[in-house]
Amino acid sequence: MSQTVRNARSAYYRAHGLPADGGISSPTVKYPTVFGTITLPNVESRKRALPLHDLHHIATGYDTSWFGEAEIAWWELGAGCHGFAAAWFLNFSAGLVGLVIAPRRSLRAWRRGLHSRSLYRTTWDDRWLDWTLDELRAFLALPPA
Structural domain includes residue 61 = yes
Write down the pLDDT at residue 145: 54
In a domain, 145, yes or no: no
Domain count, the chain: 1
Dist. CA 98–CA 31, nearest whole Å:
15
Q: Is residue 42 part of a domain?
A: yes
Give the pLDDT confidence of 72-81 residue by residue, as tens digits: 999 999 999 9
Element (H, E) at 134: helix 133-139
Give the residues of the chain that fall short of pLDDT 70: 1, 143-145
Whether residue 40 is contained in a domain is answered as: yes
CA angle (144 as vertex; 141, 145 as ends), nearest 5: 125
**Residue 90 maps to a domain:** yes
Q: Report the predicted TM-score, pTM, of the whole model to 2 decimal places.
A: 0.94
User: Given this model, what pLDDT does residue 134 score?
Assistant: 94
pLDDT digits (tens, 9 = 90+) for 79-100: 999 999 999 999 999 999 999 9
Position 124 scores a pLDDT of 93
Q: Is residue 91 part of a domain?
A: yes
Backbone Cα Rg of the chain:
14
**Is residue 144, in this structure, part of any structural domain at all?**
no
What confidence score (pLDDT) does residue 13 get?
96
The domain of 124 spans 5-139
18 domain residue, yes or no: yes
